[in-house]
Amino acid sequence: MKTNQQQENLCLYDGKSLDGKRADAIFCSDECRNMYHNSIAEKKRLEVNNLITSQQEQITILKNENEKEKKINAEKELEISQLKQQLQLSEKEIITIKDKHFRAVTKLNKIYFEKLRNRMKSKKKDINNSQNILNFLVGKSAEK
């Protein structure tokens, strides 16, 4: 195992020993320094790309869920519209039934009152006949 002092004398990029001539004293060459910074930049770029990809996947999932909700809402709106149409038809049927009922009751009332009128005419004739018979009988008894 290397000591801290030995580790300090190694290049950060390729692990080679430092010659002590460089001012930064952590890379053995400009190439190593550039490669090190490029590798860090590449790691950051990959992290950012992974983060972007992850966020894009989340956005796609949310869009899909939103589309599903829109589809469900559209289906519910269609169902509501159909129910409203059925309700309107039911209301029209109720009005039609009430109208037919009213006409039937009116017709039955007319028939009832016509029969009642005919009965009253018949009773009136019977009363008139009875009156005529009574008058006739009273007139015959008065003649005697």
| CA angle centred on 97, ends 95 and 99, rounded to 5° | 65
pLDDT score at 15: 72
pLDDT tens, 48-75?
Answer: 999 999 999 999 999 999 999 999 999 9
> Minimum mean pLDDT among 83-87, 97-101, 120-124, 133-137: which range?
133-137
**According to the model, what pLDDT value does residue 31 have?**
87
Residue 133 and residue 141 in contact, taking contact as beta carbons nearer than 8 Å: no
Residue 22 backbone phi and psi in degrees, to 5: -85, 150
Spell out the domain ranges in the chain. 4-143
For 73-107, letters b (16+ CB in 10 Å) and e give eeeeeeeeeeeeeeeeeeeeeeeeeeeeeeeeeee
> What distance in Å separates the CA atoms of residue 124 and residue 23, rounded to the nearest whole number?
142
Q: What's the confidence (pLDDT) of residue 3?
A: 41
- Report the C-alpha gap between 59 and 69 in whole angstroms: 15
pLDDT digits (tens, 9 = 90+) for 102-143: 999 999 999 999 999 999 988 888 888 888 888 888 877 766
Phi-psi region of 78 (alpha: psi -120 to 50; beta: other; left: phi over 0): alpha
Is pTM beyond 0.85 here?
Answer: no
How many Cα atoms occupy the beta-carbon half-sphere of 54 within 13 Å?
6
